[in-house]
Structure 1
Amino acid sequence: MAGLMTKLLLMAVQKPSKNGKLKVIKWLQKKKLLTSRVLCSRCGQKMKLTRNSKISDGYNWTGSLFEKSKISLPSWLTFIYRFSQGLHLRQIDMMQDRIARSSKTLSRMAKVLRKICTKAMKEYQKRRRQQMGGQQEFVVIDESNFRHKRKYGRGRASTTWRRRKWVFGMLGVKHNLRRPILRLVTRRSRNHLIPIIVKHVRPGTILISDEWRAYRGVLANMGYRHFTVNHSHWFVDPNTGAHSQHLERAWLSYKTRVWRLRGNRTEKMLKEHLTLIEWTNWLGERHRRGVLGRLFRDIYHQFPV
């Protein structure tokens, strides 16, 4: 990953000269994010690269991630790097770095990359069923409130969105590996939560939860080894040693990320951000070249050039 990241950052700071632009173009062609060969639809002959003065880079990248974008390729590369790192910089800072001129443009760029990751994660779920647990991986389950908080209590509050406020989380823990499954649920009832557990957690898995009534007396009868923690008395059960601190820490991290990016303003946006968290942990961090390498792979597969 270090080699890819270093090269990307080197391309991102290329001077806006003709040679500098060509270096970036050739590198992106090598990474298969830009096509290096286009045939004419009429005569079948190979087409030449022709400048277009209306576009910042001087070329129109039809069929790629950068098609019809007014943002330069180096700025796109900088943003892709920031996105792979979790967008820790504020939008105002990225505007000062001249990645884009407005927060609207930055939000649009983030939405494009988020959709790429969301689609890749959904395809993975269809192929692999996204199951966790087993003999070497225990699973912590819990629910948490991700509802949008209006600043100073101002702004419109949708009645529908107030009802859909609970996120049901399952965190698979295996040595240093953490894999979350996050689902938005309308209620924390047994009928809503148990089917999600059965779908994603293998029978025989150790499950750890609090003493919420939806789990009580059900999971053990379904083939799971269920341990509970009474949070009103202690954080770690003195008899079994069971605790939910893995997921409590994860909730803090996930909420901080979602709130920082204002990803809980609507139900649709929250679902996208929850899927992005899953993509990061299930696909990004497990890729041999890290999150950035996985992002490049998914861009290529969704924009084949």
Structure 2
Amino acid sequence: MYVGTFTDSKNNKKWRCRACKTTCSLCYESFLKGANLSLPSLMQFLYFGSEDIQSHAFLEKQLQWSPNTVVDWKNFMRDVCIEDLIINQEPIGGPGTVVEIDESKFGRRKYNHGRLPTGQWVFGIYEQGTDNVLMIPVPDRSAATLLLIIQRYVLPGTTIHSDEWAAYNVVPAAGCDHHTVNHSENFVDPIDGTHTQGIENAWGV
């Protein structure tokens, strides 16, 4: 296929097959498929996001988007990133590395108030000093479940930092060193003095 000029296209460009003359959008089979905004403005938006330029006022002015459009697209891109984290998972860590592990239940509160209802447990793994983050949906946070996840996604020889949740006592069985931090008392590992930022902060939530 080649990129041809077509006046009936929002961006004046389409993919076109030389053999059968079939055409399709430039965003075909991408997460931008069906977008009602111009491709150049979407590329600018993605660039600003990659540079961590998140100011709503800046994006509205530079892209000439409404406040609602900026909010909608930031939320959409957040969902795309989360989906990518869940789908594309490779083991992380290894000798000489430190990873932090934690689990959280994702759900929605009624009117954003009160305790979280029944939701999805997600196990998070963050490798300190890198951008390596894994988010794995799990049925529960039992020791048996967490051991299988650690064995699958954390390489042997890794030093693992966690809170004092009893299920994490299985960590040594995965061939990893285990340090615990009581976050109600401190955010520094009592053994080696390193700061543990917590998986919540690593995700920006």
- TM-score normalised by length of structure 2: 0.68
Comparing both structures, which one devotes a greater share of its residues to helix?
1
Pair 1:79-2:41 in alignment: no
After TM superposition, give the deviation of residue 137 of structure 1 in Å. Answer: 1.2
Conservation of the 8 A alpha-carbon contact between 1:229 and 1:237 = yes
Q: Secondary structure of the residue that 1:169 maps to in structure 2?
A: strand
After TM superposition, give the deviation of residue 120 of structure 1 in Å. Answer: 9.0
Conservation of the 8 A alpha-carbon contact between 1:228 and 1:242 = no
Conservation of the 8 A alpha-carbon contact between 2:160 and 2:179 = yes
**CA–CA separation in structure 2 for the residues paired with 1:187 and 1:136:** 30
The residue type paired with residue 178 of structure 2 is H
Of structures 1 and 2, the one with the larger relative CO (CA 8 A, separation 6+) is 1
After TM superposition, give the deviation of residue 165 of structure 1 in Å. Answer: 5.1
**CA–CA separation in structure 1 for the residues paired with 2:173 and 2:78:** 43
Which one of 202, 208, 231 corresponds to residue 161 of structure 2?
208
Which residue number corresponds to residue 54 of structure 2?
88
Conservation of the 8 A alpha-carbon contact between 1:208 and 1:243 = no
**CA–CA separation in structure 2 for the residues paired with 1:211 and 1:148:** 26
- Cα 1:94–1:149 shift into 2, 3 Å: farther
Conservation of the 8 A alpha-carbon contact between 1:140 and 1:244 = no
Which one of 140, 152, 160 corresponds to residue 187 of structure 1?
140
Which string of whole-angstrom CA distances, capped at 9 and with x for unpartnered residues, describes residues 13-44 of structure 1? Answer: xxxxxxxxxxxxxxxxxxxxxx7x36xxxxxx
**CA–CA separation in structure 2 for the residues paired with 1:67 and 1:220:** 46
Which residue number corresponds to residue 229 of structure 1?
181
After TM superposition, list the pairs within 5 Å mapping 1:107-122 onto structure 2: 107=72, 111=76, 115=80, 118=83, 122=87
Conservation of the 8 A alpha-carbon contact between 1:95 and 1:101 = yes
After TM superposition, give the deviation of residue 110 of structure 1 in Å. Answer: 6.6
- Cα 1:146–1:171 shift into 2, 3 Å: same
What runs of 5+ residues in structure 1 fail to find an aligned partner?
Answer: 1-34, 39-47, 257-305
Which string of whole-angstrom CA distances, capped at 9 and with x for unpartnered residues, describes residues 31-88 of structure 1? Answer: xxxx7x36xxxxxxxxx63433xx5544455341177654333322222223323561
After TM superposition, give the deviation of residue 112 of structure 1 in Å. Answer: 7.5
> Between Structure 1 and Structure 2, how many residues are aligned?
193
RMSD: 3.9
**CA–CA separation in structure 1 for the residues paired with 2:187 and 2:71:** 41
Which one of 76, 86, 93 corresponds to residue 133 of structure 1?
93
- Cα 1:243–1:169 shift into 2, 3 Å: farther
Which one of 15, 26, 35 corresponds to residue 64 of structure 1?
26
Identity of aligned residues (%): 26
- Cα 1:242–1:139 shift into 2, 3 Å: farther
**CA–CA separation in structure 2 for the residues paired with 1:117 and 1:214:** 25
**CA–CA separation in structure 1 for the residues paired with 2:102 and 2:135:** 10
Q: Secondary structure of the residue that 2:167 maps to in structure 1?
A: coil
The residue type paired with residue 103 of structure 1 is N
What runs of 5+ residues in structure 2 fail to find an aligned partner?
Answer: 16-23
The residue type paired with residue 224 of structure 1 is C
Which string of whole-angstrom CA distances, capped at 9 and with x for unpartnered residues, describes residues 78-103 of structure 1? Answer: 2222332356133x764454544573
